[in-house]
Amino acid sequence: MKDDYTYVNYNTQSESVASERLVKYESKHTNTFFSDFQILLNDKLKVVAAIQDGLPNSYYKELLIHMPLTESRWASILNVSIKSLRRYNEGDHIFKPIHSEKLIEMTEVTLQGLETFGDQSKLNLWLNTPSMAFEGITPVDLLSDSYGKDLVMEELIKIDHGIFS
């Protein structure tokens, strides 16, 4: 199994210390952002280090491809203004630890959602549909804090196991 993965630096060398700590493992068989991230999640110390160092803008841009939320939704989740988010989206911005943690949480939700629904469009539909499990609130509206994210994750796991609320 060790031979199936090659260590590579996630970022360019010009980016901060985060580039040294946040790494992904490229599978020789599948080269996707999420399979690489799932492997990274197995090493919680690397995740903590990446959060503390701050994630680079390139991570956010990659996440945008897989979880296409509106700019205002991302601003709400990250608890920043749209103007700040646009500024972060330029150049070599490194997100603060609080924002980096949110980006990782959104990646976890996306990973679980894709595992549950098997398709990005189905996940997006579920995220944006009012849910009886959440008393009519859309799951995406719960993602701005960790408690809401935990509720969404629990519901995704229940659905994955065939338990419908």
Q: Which position has the higher pLDDT, 95 or 66?
A: 95
Residue 37 makes CB contacts below 8 A (sequence gap 6+) with: 24, 107, 111
pLDDT tens digits along 55-65 = 999 889 888 88
Average pLDDT, integer, range 66-76: 89
pLDDT at 77: 94
Per-residue pLDDT band for 123 (boundaries 50, 70, 90) equals: very high
Distance CA 95, CA 153 (A): 24
Average pLDDT, integer, range 72-97: 92
Per-residue pLDDT band for 30 (boundaries 50, 70, 90) equals: very low
Which domain does 93 fall in, by range?
Answer: 2-160
Mean pLDDT (the chain) is: 81
Instruction: Note the pTM of the prediction, 2 decimals.
Output: 0.77
pLDDT at 34: 66
Residue 148 in domain: yes
pLDDT above 90 covers what percent of the chain?
55
Residue 46 in domain: yes
70, 99 contact by CB (below 8 A):
no
Look at the chain and report how many structural domains it folds into: 1
Model confidence at 120: pLDDT above 50: yes
Distance CA 16, CA 123 (A): 33
Question: Would you mind telling me the total number of residues written for the chain in this entry?
Answer: 165
Model confidence at 8: pLDDT above 70: no
Residue 165 in domain: no
